[in-house]
Structures are given as C-alpha cells and as structure tokens.
Amino acid sequence: MSISSHDSSVQTFDLQALVRPNIRSIKPYSSARSEFTGTAEIFLDANENAFGSPPHEVRIERQQALHRYPDPLQKAVKSRLAALKHVTVEQLFLGNGSDEVIDLLIRGFCEPGQDEILITPPTYGMYEVSADIQNARVLRVPLLLCDGQYILDTDAVLRAVTPRTKLVFLCSPGNPTGALLDAASVHRIVQGFHGIVVLDEAYIDFVPQATFVPLVQSYPNLVVMQTLSKAWGLAALRLGILVASPDIVRVLNSIKPPYNINALTQEYVLHALRHPQWKEKIVRSTVLERERLRKALSESSMHELIENVYPSDANFLLVKIRAPHNPRAVYAALMRAGIIVRDRSTVPLCERCLRITVGTEQENTRLLEVLQVEVLQAQQGIVLS
Ligand SMILES: *Cc1c(COP(=O)(O)O)cnc(C)c1O
C-alpha cells in the first residue's frame, strides 16, 4: 500500500495546536545584531569589548579529548573564579552565558501560569523573554527619572511584590541606563522581599568596588550574576557566572543541561582568567575613552543635536537626541557611515535615546566626526527626520 497525503487515515498535522499557547504569542528577544542587516565596520551596538580578548594561549593540542564530554561541574574554571572573586566553589554556578542563568532561575523558581517575576524597566530584555517562555507573569515597576538620573523606586518595588513573586531582577550598572543602583536601595529590597533578588552585574568590571558579591554571604536570598561577555572581551565563548548560596547553586545544578559549558570554552576561560591584569588595563582604557566621548558629546558645538548624555558606570553611553531631530535619522546617518549603535528611542523612559558602546579611540573619533557632519546640517536648519 502506498502512503499518500490524501490517505484518509493520515492525521492532519496542526503545528499551531501543538505549540504551547504562550509560546505561540511569544515576542522573541531582538539582539542588536539581528536588528541590523548589511555591512558595517564599527560595531558600537552590543556593549562588547572593542579592544579584543585576553592573550590567546589555547591551541587545540588536546584535540584527543574532544571525544569525551566536558566536566559537567566545570571544577577547574570554578576554582580559578572562586579565587578571583573571593568566594567558594560551592557558591558558583556557570551558565552558557548569563542568558542561560536567567532562564534556569526562572524555570527553577516560577510555576507556569502562577508565579511572577518583577523587573524595573528600562532594563535588559531577556528577563521578560525567559519569563514569557516559562509563562511566568511579569510585574513592572519602572525606574524613576529624577534630575536626569535613573533611580530605583524602592518603595514601589516592595509594595508591588506579592506572595507569588519569586524573583526580583535588578541590574547594576543598568542596561540601557548605564547607572549603578543606589546600594542602600538594593539592601532595602533584599531585606524587605521574601523571594530571591537577582542582581545582574554584567558591567560591574567597570566599577569593581561596587559589587554585591561579598554580601551573598550575609543574604541567603541574594544572587549576583556576572559575565565574561563584556569587560573580559569573551562574548563569543558564552560564559555567565552566578554567585549564590550553595543551596541555590544546588537547585540550579539539578536542572541544568548536564554539559552546558563546552570543553573549548572551559579550556579557553581557564587561560583567559590568568590575565586579570589584561582585563583591568582594558577597563582603564574603556573608562578613559568613555569620558573623552562624554566630554565631546556634551560640548556646546553638539548642543544642536544632543540634548543629554546620561551618567554611565558602564562601557556605553545613553545619549538623548534633541527635538525636533529624529533619533532614528541619526541612527540611519551613522549606519550609512558604517557605524552601528543601538536605537533605544522606542523604549519607555528612553525616548529619543541612542545607546552607544564605547569603542577604540579610532572608532570613537570616527563616530564624533560623523556626528559633527550631522550637527552642521542641523545648524543649517535641516531637521534630521
Ligand atoms: C550583555 C548582558 C547580559 C548577557 O550576558 P551573556 O553572559 O553574554 O549572556 C546579561 N545582562 C545584561 C544586563 C547585559 O547587558
């Protein structure tokens, strides 16, 4: 008997009926890179380290080991990280990027259709995407914009949480705000909230003295996330770090994919972590360039086009374009010149804003040159729209 698609015994296949209802309507994360198509030379859109990666020492000499699975608990990497961060190996969890850590936290703690996370927008997009996938509700308590500074609405956060709120996500320094959160406010939330506070410190290497890692000892409900993707210049390796109590680490270990950190990443990270002084040098260069860029963008010659450059403790600047000029037009002009930045102008509380990653000296100079040309046009009364 031949099998034909007209055979009445063949069930019709309805994909949409199989997909979970909340997945059908999911709004996927849109990365800086996926929003851009074309060719560009200067990438100031994803907050990567423009200066490169720590010195390479890894040649795949141990290729013979690739037929074996990697260490599921990444003991060698963790013991080096533990020494660098003054924590114990049992307090560390590693993810395939912080993005996997976020996803596992939500899957481990939020019952689908019942539990909630709380976020403080404008903030990193993956908290909400992972919550949507898990079908966890998302409570939003926006940051306050006070005298040009983004601050936590601490009282509103503590009022908004319910017995169903399992995780509160805070980001410090914030993305896209660039601002460190007030430490006293973070303490108040950790003390006043019955669930877990996830403090995302993806940019903490630019303000290392502000880290909350030492406080994980005193607060059993505080977890701190860091990453090798930003200051360390290793975004392609995908390594996210969580510091938490051994009990929380055990929960995450019990649900993670067994071999979530591949062998080449473990090998490479082990070598890279031998060069913390390389990272520190890059951080110093980045901060110097950030302040040079801020000064240049804040000069009176830029006033026609730029209304405000927000304070930043990270490796990017949030820049507000002055009306009537359209931030999208400035974005497009930069793109025509081969420079990609991140358009945040449609994000609530970031209206008219572009987020610009600090590049190398040469890249930043080029950015300033292109913006100067736009300023000249604007000064001739041409509205960039
Ligand atoms: C870039 C970024 C991350 C992502 O880190 P990965 O380790 O590359 O997944 C997490 N949180 C914030 C706030 C970021 O800006």
Question: How does residue 1 score in pLDDT terms, banded at 50, 70 and 90?
Answer: very low
Ligand 1 centre distance from Cα of residue 314 (Å):
12
Check whether 288 has a pLDDT greater than 80.
yes
Amino acid 40: pLDDT: 80
- Cα 160 from Cα 27, distance rounded (Å): 24
Both tokens of 68, joined, read 């074996």
Q: Is 177 in the pocket of ligand 1 (CB under 6 A)?
A: no
Ligand 1 centre distance from Cα of residue 331 (Å):
23
Q: Determine which residue's CA is closest to atom 11 belonging to ligand 1.
A: 202
Segment 55-65, tens digit of pLDDT? 876 665 555 57
Segment 10-47, tens digit of pLDDT? 788 999 999 999 999 898 888 777 766 677 889 999 99
Both tokens of 146, joined, read 């006070």
Please give the number of the atom of ligand 1 that sits closest to the Cα of 235.
8
- Cα 359 from Cα 376, distance rounded (Å): 23
Ligand 1 centre distance from Cα of residue 240 (Å):
8
Segment 106-138, tens digit of pLDDT? 999 999 999 999 999 999 999 999 999 999 999
Amino acid 51: pLDDT: 94
Segment 64-99, tens digit of pLDDT? 578 999 999 999 999 999 999 999 999 999 999 999
Q: Is 49 in the pocket of ligand 1 (CB under 6 A)?
A: no
Please give the number of the atom of ligand 1 that sits closest to the Cα of 100.
9
% of the chain residues with pLDDT over 90: 86
Q: Is 179 in the pocket of ligand 1 (CB under 6 A)?
A: no
Segment 184-242, tens digit of pLDDT? 999 999 999 999 999 999 999 999 999 999 999 999 999 999 999 999 999 999 999 99
Ligand 1 centre distance from Cα of residue 47 (Å):
9
Beta-carbon contacts of 180 under 8 Å, excluding residues fewer than 6 positions away, are 172, 173, 174, 207, 210, 313
Q: Determine which residue's CA is closest to atom 12 belonging to ligand 1.
A: 202
The predicted model scores a pTM of 0.94
Ligand 1 centre distance from Cα of residue 129 (Å):
13
